[in-house]
Amino acid sequence: MASDLIRLTATEAVAALRRGDVSPLELVEAAAERIAEVEPAVNALPTLCLDRARDHATRLIAGEGRELEGTPGWLGGLPVSIKDLTDVAGVRTTYGSPLFRDHVPERSHPVVERIEARGGIVIGKSNTPEFGAGGSTFNEVFGRTRNPWNTSLTCGGSTGGGAVSVATGECWLAQGTDHGGSTRRPGTYCLVAGLRPSPGRITRGTPGNLFSPLSVQGPMARTIPDLALFLDTMAGWCAQDPLTCDAPAIPYAEAVSRAEAERPSRIAFTADFNGALPVDRETRALCTEAMRHFEAMGCVVEEFAPDLGELSEAFLVLRSQHFVVDRELQLRDHRDALKPDIVWNTERGLAATPSRLAWAERERAAFFRRVRAMFERFDILVTPGAPTPAFDVMLRNPESIAGVKLENYMAGSMLTAAITMAGCPAVAVPCGFDRHGRPVGLQVVAPHRREDRALQAAALFEQAAGLARLLPIDPRPGTVPPPEAAA
């Protein structure tokens, strides 16, 4: 029974809950059984709160906490995971940092309150790099999270634990965050769907960077319809976040159901932003070939990308200021307890001049205008979801991509970070496997606040590719493939 339940999609499980074919408590127990089976191999959910989940399930069964039943995004008792950057009341929340090793918040983050009010049941906290900084999920508190397709490889970061938790069937949906690609790259590496929404679509609630559009909350799931369902759960205005807006009049789940009738007409595709970014040859070839699915639907696909200009440097400048807001005081008081990536980002920000910050803002604005002009010609933009498949789990980041040495740990993230700088919504959707069996994915980008358009296009591609049926996966051992040579 448990094995059958964990193979249901989130949409199917919610429908079964609505019909009364299964109870919230049965789903919690199915998730608990699956966690016990796979967790030793992957380390995705290092902190569990199963008794808390059982109590929540029991209350829902008794008719409590159902005030929002029937509204868009109602989950009806579906177990979900919450990233360990995000507070859950009464549950150990470490942010992946030794400084908060024993931290137990008294109140949940606003996005968790929203999820629980809509019938989502929190079963555990998913692993993250320290303070979410990093493209591989590891920290000194809980260790490394491993890719279920090959446990010698990374699952990506920083929502690596969330991606693995849905890929393996430990839960049906995962909450994450995304700054430079933290839902999209783990989604690509683990063959699941991840969404970075437009800034303001989902509440961020509590950080000091409330007026910055760089870091956002986002959903992860096994399928695009499930992703749309969870976005409906999370989206909407929040008094604690000044950038938030109302949820759309047409729920995202409904928009995805209309995908066939609203398919994109013209699609821009780029493998490497006009050669500006290093991308593995096989990744480039697989993603280019995957675009034939869109062509078979009657879409016009044209190779095009907006000019990046000096966006890579501008991103680092603005990202470093984000770190100054968040980490300056911790750097002052606990420098030796912070990992080198955090020290580097924060000190880089502290050294930036006002003139340099102004330059970075001008670069971001100019890029946004170029992206906006692109969307006057094209409905969506598609890129690879990552420049290379998953790398060695013991590495912070790959040393090089396609023979190009990376100068810092963020240098391999510009495929996704560029979209962050444009403020556009983007969906990671699986597109295949490389010759070593590592997942490869696409990034589907839509204009600002058009999550519906990105989800619809991703749903059409997902149906054509047929890869979602491969999940959930039992973790597989393997070896680390050699890096690709220069092109």
The CATH number given to whatever domain includes residue 193 is 3.90.1300.10
Q: In the prediction, which pLDDT does 393 show?
A: 98
Number of domains within the chain: 1
pLDDT category of residue 487 using cuts at 50, 70 and 90: very low
Is residue 487 assigned to a domain? no
Is residue 485 assigned to a domain? no
Q: Which domain holds residue 304?
A: 2-470
Q: In the prediction, which pLDDT does 485 show?
A: 58
Is residue 486 assigned to a domain? no
pLDDT category of residue 73 using cuts at 50, 70 and 90: very high
pLDDT category of residue 409 using cuts at 50, 70 and 90: confident
Mean pLDDT to the nearest integer, 233-242 = 97
pLDDT at 333 over 70: yes
State pLDDT tens for residues 423-482.
999 999 999 999 999 999 999 999 999 999 999 999 999 999 999 999 999 999 999 998
* Cα–Cα distance, 98 to 351 (Å, whole number): 26
pLDDT category of residue 267 using cuts at 50, 70 and 90: very high
* Cα–Cα distance, 428 to 231 (Å, whole number): 14
State pLDDT tens for residues 189-229.
999 999 999 999 999 998 899 999 999 999 999 999 999 99
Non-local (6+) Cβ contacts of 239 within 8 A are: none
State pLDDT tens for residues 288-316.
999 999 999 999 999 999 999 999 999 99
Is residue 382 assigned to a domain? yes
State pLDDT tens for residues 7-42.
999 999 999 999 999 999 999 999 999 999 999 999
Non-local (6+) Cβ contacts of 458 within 8 A are: 193, 224, 227, 427, 429, 442, 444
* Cα–Cα distance, 115 to 399 (Å, whole number): 39
* Cα–Cα distance, 194 to 219 (Å, whole number): 6
Is residue 479 assigned to a domain? no
Torsion from C-alpha of 85, 211, 235, 198, nearest 10 degrees: -100
Q: Three-state DSSP class for 278?
A: coil
Q: Name the percent of the chain lying above pLDDT 90.
A: 96
Is residue 273 assigned to a domain? yes
Say if strands 193-196 and 426-433 run parallel, antiparallel, or are unpaired.
antiparallel
Is residue 478 assigned to a domain? no
Q: Kindly provide the b/e burial profile for residues 227-264, where b requires at least 16 CB atoms within 10 angstroms of the residue's own CB.
A: bbbbbbbbbbebeebebbeebbeebbbebbeebeeebb
Is residue 274 assigned to a domain? yes
pLDDT at 486 over 80: no
Q: Is 195:162 a contact under the CB 8 Å cutoff? A: no
